[in-house]
Structure 1
Amino acid sequence: MIYAFLNQKGGVGKTTLSIHTAAELSGRGRRVLLIDADPQGSSLAWSNYREKANFTVVGMPKATIHKEIDLLAQDYDDVVIDGPPRVTELARSIILSADIVVIPVQPSPMDVWAAAETVDLVREAQVYKPEIKCCLVINRKITNTAIGRDVRDALAELEVPVLKNDIGQRVAFAESAASGSTVLNQKLSKAAREIIKFVNELRRLK
């Protein structure tokens, strides 16, 4: 499966979720390739500091990914693509490469608007590749807040599946990134349990 993490707004957690999805799939015995397609190169930078290389990370911020994905993916069970912000030819190429486009959304009106732009891009691509699936995941949610509850209602208007398992706003994600690790090193932590449930739900979409 090829999972692409995209949103036209930066800072929504695409890189964090890409890395953790790749790490969790790898931990299940899957052969995983993480493609850093964001010119900023955050996933690639993280890989330079990581503790152990249990999956492959390559940098490829090129608008030809959809033409090369079959060759890139041939030795792997799963490919995870960490996409760039903004509407670009690169984003369109990533969508055409994907089986599932995952749109992380923070609980804020600006994120919902940006998600709508990404959904429109996916619908454009589905004209050429109807089998592309798309879903939304609420990321960096602060529990017991009105905006955390209301964002799900706002996203429903986009008529795209919203995953049931949200990812909370947790310091553990930033701390693990700084040390080249993931929250999955602490399997019993709340952050790790959220990632595991998220990946379980994501895999059921295939």
Structure 2
Amino acid sequence: MIVAVLNQKGGVGKTTLALHLAGEWARRGQRVTLIDADPQGSALDWSQQRGREGLPRAFGVVGLARDTLHREAPELARDADHIVIDGPPRVAGLMRSALLAADLVLMPVQPSPLDGWASAEMLALLTEARIYRPQLVARFVLNRCAARTVIARETAETLAEHDPPVLATTIGQRVIFADAAQTGRLACEIAADSLAAREISALAAEIARLGVGRTAP
């Protein structure tokens, strides 16, 4: 399965989500490659920091920030159970290529009023990609949520009736994710029974229940 984590808005925790999903699947013994398609290269930086800390490789990380991604990612997928694409913000050509490569698109959004998360351009690109990949599955993911806030509940309720819909699992705003980013670690490595680690595990389980598989373009 090829999962693209995409949002044209920066600062929504896209890279953290991509890294932790890849790490969760690798922890379960699956072969995983993460494609860093963001020109900023944050996932590659994380991988290099992991090496500097003397930690074993959790999964492969490759830089592929070019608009031929939809041709190259399926080749990488032949030798992996999961490909996770950490997509670019506001680079239309790269975004289109990532959408065409994907089986599942995850769009992390922070709890906010409707006009804060609804990216007309992003949804237009998704609609365009479905012309070529009609089986493309997409979901919003509520990320960086403060616990039990009214705005988080209202955002979830709004997205529940939306197309794409929102996943039930929410990911909290947790200090451990910032620590993980700085040290080249995953939340489950810092604290195996942390809320962050359990949320990522629940997210991976919910994605598995979607039953998404590779389909021909």
Name the TM-score class by shorter chain: over 0.9
Structure 1 segments, 4+ long, off by >3 Å, are: none
3-state secondary structure, aligned to 1:127:
helix
Counterpart position of 1:25: 25
Match in the other structure for 1:177: 181
Cα distance in 2 for residues equivalent to 1:18 and 1:29: 17
Residue equivalent to 1:13: 13
Q: 2:94, 2:43 → 1: CA distance?
A: 17
1:40 paired with 2:45, answer: no
Which of 193, 196, 207 is matched with 1:202 structurally?
Answer: 207
Deviation, 1:77, is 1.0
Counterparts of 1:94-109 in structure 2, within 5 Å, are 94-109=98-113
What is residue 138 of structure 1 aligned with on the other side?
A: 142
Amino acid aligned to 1:17? L
Q: TM-score scaled to structure 2, two decimals?
A: 0.90
CA distance in 2, matches of 1:199, 1:111: 26
**Given that residues 5 and 101 in structure 1 are in contact (C-alpha distance below 8 angstroms), is that contact kept between their aligned partners in structure 2?**
yes
Aligned amino acid, residue 45 of structure 2: A
Cα distance in structure 1, aligned partners of 2:5 and 2:150: 26
Aligned residues: 205
Shift of the alpha carbon at 1:10? 0.5
Q: Which runs of 5+ in 2 are unaligned?
A: 213-217
* Greater CA drift, 36-45 or 122-131: 122-131
Q: Pick from 79, 89, 93: which aligns with 1:89? A: 93
Letter of the aligned partner of 1:128 in structure 2? Y
Amino acid at match of 1:203: A
Give the whole-Å Cα distance in 2 for the aligned partners of 1:111 and 1:69.
Answer: 31
**Residues 112 and 154, structure 1, Cα contact 8 Å, conserved in 2:** no
2:47 maps to a residue whose letter is S
Matched, 1:147 2:151: yes
Q: Which amino acid aligns with 2:166?
A: V
CA offsets 1:137-188 (integer angstroms, 9 cap, x no match): 0000111211111111332453212110100010010011111101011221
